Amino acid sequence: MISKKYIIFFYDLLLCFISFPLSLWLRAGDDFHTYPVHLVIKHTVVYTVISAGIFMCFRTYKSVWRYVSLNELMLLTFSLGCANVLYLGTLFLMSYSGSMPRSLVIINWLVNTALLGGSRLAYRLLKNEALSKNLLSSSLVEKILLIGLTDQTEMFIRDQARQRKKSLDIVGIIETKNRHSGSRVHSIDVLGQLKDFSAILEKLKFLNNAPQKLVITDPDFTGKPLQELIKFNKKYNFEIARLPRMWEITNATQKNQIKPISIEDLLGRPQVELDRKSMETFLHKKRVLVTGCGGSIGGELVRQIAKFKPSHITLLDHSEYLLYKCELEMSEDYPDLSHRAFLADVSNVTRISEILSEENPEIIFHAAALKHVPIAQKNPNEAIMTNVIGTQNIAEAARHYNVKAVVFISTDKAVNPTSIMGATKRLSESYCQALDAIGVQEKTTRFITTRFGNVLGSTGSVVPLFKRQIERGGPLTVTHPDVRRYFMTIHEAVELVLQAAVLGYESADTAGQIFVLEMGDLIKISDLARQMIQFTGLIPEKDIHIQYTGLREGEKLYEELFYGEEKLIKTKCKGLMLASPKPMNYQFLKKSIQQLQEYAQHYDTNSSLGLLKELVPEYQTDSSSL
């Protein structure tokens, strides 16, 4: 069977053969018959042979006509220009056997471009028209309305036009930035602005072209604008979806895959500009260890670090199942990246020392911790062993094995703590502060501490709980009508942790200070509950009720990111600030924590909590006044 590219090649040569006498006729008019037939044939053959050489050189016959674009047409035009320039040089050599008009070169170039380029465009238009008719005749086609006009919108429309089996019919675009109303994108009309949403839908409904789904193609269309759209949509009850953002795309097939909107989209935060080049320099070809790799933060750390191609990643977790999941994901998504998994408890000093001796990491991200406030409250000695002793074990082993940097993940609950979880995290912050001051002075291991609030969708957070309760028909349980929390997406939090690691490691000025992630405004949990109910198309207090259960032991009405007396310092990154809690003496801390470990190991709860209160004087065991 003859290859399509050869058919295209000979087709192009045939048009070149036809174009030459046609161009001469256009140039000579009634005088065309005055040119001898043998002369016309000779020049036609010469021009065709030259064109054949040029086509083979530029491989114009390899383009797929169904996807022909401006780039292919420009290449074709340039190739024909080269062919005519070469023919012009040959024309002078052939003048002894009879001359041809010099203007014939320009005319033939235009005629041939029209013939070859026009045939390609005609094929694509006919093919798309046939696909469109097939689309309209299909009963499985879903009508969609695009929200937003960006480069991603154009790419999505173009991609849909190329689909052989179409399942989507784009009925129009609604503009979100008021720039192109009344214009068209690849034959799709820009119907108006978001403020005209209801009128546009009524018009589409009248034209029997009402959409079944709204697809957001503007990556910045989140937060309040999206909440307003959901309010608009209550009357129509369409499904709302969106295209993935650039950081969510891991392979080319995902760029135009429609996905449901999430609660993260509803809360939308402005994108922080990050220095990814410095992150790559910090992590590329380095040996990295991540503790708590199976958790929400630890897992996202592993995923983002892997993108910077370290030489080796050590995965460490206390949960066999979570460690298995993390290692499986690494093997599937990064098969060429060297990694090794260790099942270990950070509170086991012998095991931690053994792992660091074997793996020899250069950078450690310490995310392992007991983070669930009520569980830590009921198991104080386990919280002390994991959160405090585990951090000490990692820190001391890192110093012993000359690790370059340890990045410690803390929490806003460490500020004026009212829970055991918060108090243990604050004590760990103090330990890392003291060690970082020593690291700068002695030019040894740096300890970078990052502090931030709740991350959406993390293990134990309210979002997965609310989703589960909505699926069960409610009620949604909220501890108090006025309880407020900071929220950030896991992806954004980890990006800022990596940025903080770079800034902390590069500057001695940050010694003993804590990087605080800019969390935005506090969000009322009751408002979040209502938004999630509305998000599913239901009505709060009618379809699903909200039940207030009362504050749990150790829980605050609102969280804080820094102490009142702390002076916040701006950094080069808008999403990061520096705080300087009062530092403590390292030798005193080390001796006190050894005593704390002894109490916790022997389950002497009264003594361990008493010493914890002494070491963290801000620890308030009674939160009723908050």
> What is the tens place of the pLDDT at every residue in 252-288?
454 557 777 777 677 666 666 678 899 999 999 999 9
Looking at 76-90, 172-186, 478-492, 540-554, which range is the least confident one?
172-186
pLDDT for position 424 = 96
CA dist 593 and 595 (Å) reads 5
Is the predicted pLDDT of residue 624 greater than 70, yes or no? no
Is the predicted pLDDT of residue 191 greater than 80, yes or no? yes
Looking at 70-74, 330-334, 587-591, which range is the least confident one?
70-74
| Torsion angles phi and psi, residue 523, rounded to 5 | -115, 130
Is the predicted pLDDT of residue 389 greater than 90, yes or no? yes
Looking at residues 365-390, what average pLDDT do you find?
94
pLDDT for position 626 = 35
Arithmetic mean of pLDDT over the chain? 83
Answer with the residue of higher pLDDT: 239 or 447: 447
Work out the pLDDT band at 448, boundaries 50, 70, 90: very high
Is the predicted pLDDT of residue 173 greater than 70, yes or no? yes
Is the predicted pLDDT of residue 208 greater than 90, yes or no? no
CA dist 527 and 484 (Å) reads 9
Work out the pLDDT band at 616, boundaries 50, 70, 90: very high
Please answer whether residues 460 and 372 qualify as being in contact, where contact means their C-beta atoms are separated by less than 8 angstroms: yes
In the chain, where the domains are located: 4-131, 139-261, 276-615
For residue 138, give Cα distances in angstroms to 133, 134, 183, 211.
9, 6, 28, 15
pLDDT for position 625 = 34
Looking at residues 91-99, what average pLDDT do you find?
66
pLDDT for position 28 = 85
DSSP-assigned beta bridge partners for residue 174: 147, 192
Please answer whether residues 410 and 368 qualify as being in contact, where contact means their C-beta atoms are separated by less than 8 angstroms: no
Work out the pLDDT band at 81, boundaries 50, 70, 90: confident
CA dist 80 and 50 (Å) reads 10
pLDDT digits (tens, 9 = 90+) for 127-142: 666 555 554 444 457 8
Looking at residues 285-296, what average pLDDT do you find?
95
Looking at residues 140-163, what average pLDDT do you find?
79
- Nearest CA among 270, 326, 279 for reference residue 298: 326
Same fold, 139-261 and 276-615: yes
Indicate the CATH number for domain 139-261: 3.40.50.720
Work out the pLDDT band at 164, boundaries 50, 70, 90: low
Looking at 143-147, 523-527, 532-536, which range is the least confident one?
532-536
CA dist 262 and 297 (Å) reads 19
pLDDT digits (tens, 9 = 90+) for 297-327: 999 999 999 999 999 999 999 999 999 999 9
Indicate the CATH number for domain 276-615: 3.40.50.720
pLDDT for position 623 = 43
Answer with the residue of higher pLDDT: 256 or 110: 110
DSSP run (H or E) holding 364: strand 363-366
CA dist 90 and 54 (Å) reads 14
pLDDT for position 366 = 97
Answer with the residue of higher pLDDT: 353 or 155: 353
Looking at 327-336, 343-352, 450-459, which range is the least confident one?
450-459
Is the predicted pLDDT of residue 488 greater than 90, yes or no? no
Is the predicted pLDDT of residue 344 greater than 80, yes or no? yes
